[in-house]
Structures are given as C-alpha cells and as structure tokens.
Amino acid sequence: MKFLAKNSFIVVFLVVLLVSAILDKVFNIESLGIRIAVSAFFAVLVSPRKKKIQTQTGEKTQITWFFLKKPIILD
C-alpha cells in the first residue's frame, strides 16, 4: 500500500483506463470527451490526498485514501 501511496499516478492512470473501457464496452458511450470527463471524475474521487503534517520529529507526509479509514504516514 505504501508503494501505491508514493506513486499515486499509477492508481489514477489505472482508474482512468478501467472506467473509460467500461464506459466504451458496457455502456457504448463513443464520445471521447464524455468518457474522459467521467473517468477523470472517478480518478479524482479515489486518488489519495497528501497533506504535510508537523510532528515532534519533523515534517511528515500524511496520505489518506477514500476507501481506507487509517491514514498512511510517510517520512
């Protein structure tokens, strides 16, 4: 999970590809603009949020996901 937290662009890329393919194959939406807009919306929804927090040991990065209750703390 920490690998995906550090490289969140992989999650965004995969979500865009997956949602775009579903919209094309299942719902037969051929308009590229609509597929990209809907895919980008879902990618933004599930992408991790990064926030810098100050602790006694220094500044750390806190990453929260839409589907996780507990945040991930990176040094």
Q: Give the pLDDT score at 22.
A: 95
Is residue 3's pLDDT more than 90? no
Whether the full predicted model's pTM is greater than 0.85, yes or no, is no
Instruction: Report the distance separating Cα 53 and Cα 45, nearest Å.
Output: 22
Per-residue pLDDT tens for 22-53? 999 999 999 999 999 999 999 999 888 999 99
Whether 59 and 52 have beta carbons less than 8 Å apart is answered as yes
Is residue 1's pLDDT more than 80? no
